[in-house]
């Protein structure tokens, strides 16, 4: 969700190489971004109601739900907040809801129609490679999400003064992490897009008006990451097997 959808489309097409495809039937300016032929996300203007409440440009995740009404009820009982829905998405996509965890990190629930897509090969460029929650209290956040989605703890990494970086898994597969946020970072989910070569991707970010907030840096396991903002201010990360 962005303050300038046209500029955001141009930026990410150049930085990520995504293909852009308008999504009809929603009654709003919504663009599907694709890695090859696979849809991996979307770009849209910040809704007026959210803009009036001061919502900044931001990437927001969809988490799959098998029963969205039951998940919304469980979320609310656990202290989460329902912002919108559940309701239908145009084009027979499925039902969605805009929600937040008890500490305020926003995300979406989506109960899709139709069959599941086939998985792609690990570290396929253009896809989301890592999910990271910045929380006030990651342990309480983990209790919330594990109760809702069945996520489990994998290994925890001691980051000294920054505390524990707790890897989280789904069905035994590592897919993200939680940590207590630094003072200058809001409570939020952050997402790392896979690129082929981090230095070249960093150059594309800066030459197209984005900023590098942290990195490039090597992380355990030998991958390289950078944290960035796009020209409108939305935070995102990039991850690559090579520098």
What is the rounded average pLDDT of the residues 172-183? 93
Q: Write out the DSSP string of 163-226.
A: -EEEEEEETTEEEEEEEEPPTTS-SEEEEEEE-S-HHHHHHHHHHTT-EEEEEEEE-TTS-EEE
What's the pLDDT tens digit per position in 231-242? 999 999 999 999
Per the CB < 8 A criterion, the answer to whether 205 and 213 are in contact is: no
User: Count of CB atoms within 10 A of residue 157's CB?
Assistant: 15
Please work out, in degrees rounded to the nearest 5, the angle formed at the alpha carbon of residue 119 by the alpha carbons of 22 and 187. 70
Q: What is the pLDDT of residue 186?
A: 87
Whether residue 198 contacts residue 225, with contact meaning beta carbons closer than 8 Å, is answered with yes
Give the model confidence (pLDDT) of 111-123 as tens digits. 999 888 888 998 9
Q: Which of 128, 77, 136, 129 is nearest to 105 (CA)?
A: 136
Give the pLDDT band (50/70/90) at residue 45.
very high
List the helix and strand counts (H, then E) for the chain: 5, 15
Rounded to whole angstroms, the Cα distance separating 177 from 134 reads 9
* Cα angle 107, 109, 110; round to 5: 135
Residues 51 and 3: their CA atoms lie apart, in Å, by 9
Do residues 126 and 194 lie in contact, with contact meaning Cβ atoms separated by under 8 Å? yes
Strand partners, 84: 98
pLDDT at residue 159 is higher than 70:
yes
129 φ/ψ angles, rounded to the nearest 5 degrees? -105, -15
Domains located in the chain, CATH noted: 58-118 (3.10.180.10), 137-180 (no CATH)
* 206: confidence class by pLDDT, cuts 50, 70, 90: very high
pLDDT band (50, 70, 90) for residue 184: confident
**Does residue 94 carry a pLDDT above 70?**
yes
**pLDDT for the residue numbered 124:** 95
Tell me the helix, strand and coil percentages in the chain, rounded to 5: 20, 40, 35
DSSP bridge partners of 89: 94
Phi and psi at residue 38, in whole multiples of 5°? -95, 125
- 16 pLDDT above the threshold of 90: yes
pLDDT higher than 70, residue 18: yes
190 is written with which tokens?
């952050």
Per-residue pLDDT for 156 more than 90?
yes
């Amino acid at each position: 969700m962005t303050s300038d959808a046209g500029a955001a489309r141009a930026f990410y097409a150049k930085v990520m190489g995504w293909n852009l495809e308008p999504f009809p039937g929603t009654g709003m300016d919504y663009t599907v971004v694709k890695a090859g032929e696979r849809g991996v996300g979307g770009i849209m203007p910040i809704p007026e109601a959210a803009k009036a409440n001061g919502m900044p440009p931001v990437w927001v995740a969809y988490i799959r739900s098998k029963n969205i009404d039951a998940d919304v009820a469980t979320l609310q009982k656990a202290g989460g907040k329902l912002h919108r829905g559940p309701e239908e998405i145009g084009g027979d996509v499925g039902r969605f809801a805009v929600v937040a965890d008890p500490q305020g990190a926003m995300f979406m629930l989506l109960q899709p129609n139709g069959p599941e897509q086939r998985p792609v090969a690990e570290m396929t460029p253009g896809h989301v490679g890592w999910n990271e929650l910045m929380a006030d209290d990651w342990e309480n956040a983990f209790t919330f999400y594990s109760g809702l989605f069945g996520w489990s703890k994998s290994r925890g990494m001691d980051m000294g003064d920054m505390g524990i970086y707790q890897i989280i898994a789904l069905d035994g597969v590592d897919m993200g992490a939680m940590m207590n946020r630094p003072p200058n970072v809001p409570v939020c989910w952050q997402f790392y897009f896979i690129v082929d070569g981090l230095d070249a991707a960093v150059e594309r970010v800066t030459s197209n008006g984005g900023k590098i907030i942290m990195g490039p840096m090597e992380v355990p396991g030998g991958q390289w990451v950078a944290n960035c903002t796009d020209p409108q201010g939305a935070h995102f990360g990039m991850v690559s097997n090579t520098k």
